[in-house]
Chains A and B, each alone.
Chain A
Amino acid sequence: GEQVEQLPSILRVQEGSSASINCSYEDSASNYFPWYKQEPGENPKLIIDIRSNMERKQIQELIVLLDKKAKRFSLHITDTQPGDSAMYFCAADGNEKITFGAGTKLTIKP
């Protein structure tokens, strides 16, 4: 089945700066790449996604890039705020099921 690697596992950035999380996948047939944010004690919630027919997608301060040839995709959060502190999970779809990366704990330093 699909395997998704996510790095880094821990990320600390200064408030107002940018944060980047990188993921790679193995199955070239995967065509949907969502990102989920999970606050402590809460369930994961979709924040942005990208399909294989796109290379870049932006929703406000969130930017997702997809490089299908390299089988890599990434999340970039610009102008980070304290509310961005959370766990972030990348994922890739693969034949009826979505496989998640191990997660990145993002902490925004004031």
Chain B
Amino acid sequence: EAAVTQSPRSKVAVTGGKVTLSCHQTNNHDYMYWYRQDTGHGLRLIHYSYVADSTEKGDIPDGYKASRPSQENFSLILELASLSQTAVYFCASSDWGGYTGQLYFGEGSKLTVL
């Protein structure tokens, strides 16, 4: 079964601090995604990537950067964390980039910004 692992699973950050969320997949998938989920809301796409060393903006990229140094790894970077970025972040990978491709999600990273 597809395996996507995220770290850290939980983090408390201070406003204005830098936060890096990491994601590692062992599925040999080309596509990787970062979504955020707020309580009672759906999943909103922040950034995605279909090849190493390249990232694309999703629907809510402001305040976030992404890095894909290799096919297996995809990071989400908050340079200046803000209270509004408190959420659960999910990384996902897929074979087909959305064209009939199943998303395999990691376990999520709960970020609390104080």
Contact = CB atoms under 8 A, between A and B. Distances in A.
B90 A44 contact: yes
Contacts, number: 66
B107 interface: yes
Interface size class of B (residues with CB under 8 A): 20 to 34
Interface string A21-52: 00000000001101010000011111001010
Contacts of B35: 100
Contacts of A32: 98-101
A98 B99 CA distance: 9
- Chain A to chain B: the 5 pairs with minimum beta-carbon distance, closest first: A43-B105, A93-B98, A102-B42, A100-B42, A100-B43
Interface of A: 1, 6, 9, 31-32, 34, 36, 42-46, 49, 51, 89, 93-103
Interface of B: 31, 33, 35, 40-45, 48, 50, 56, 58-59, 90, 97-103, 105-108
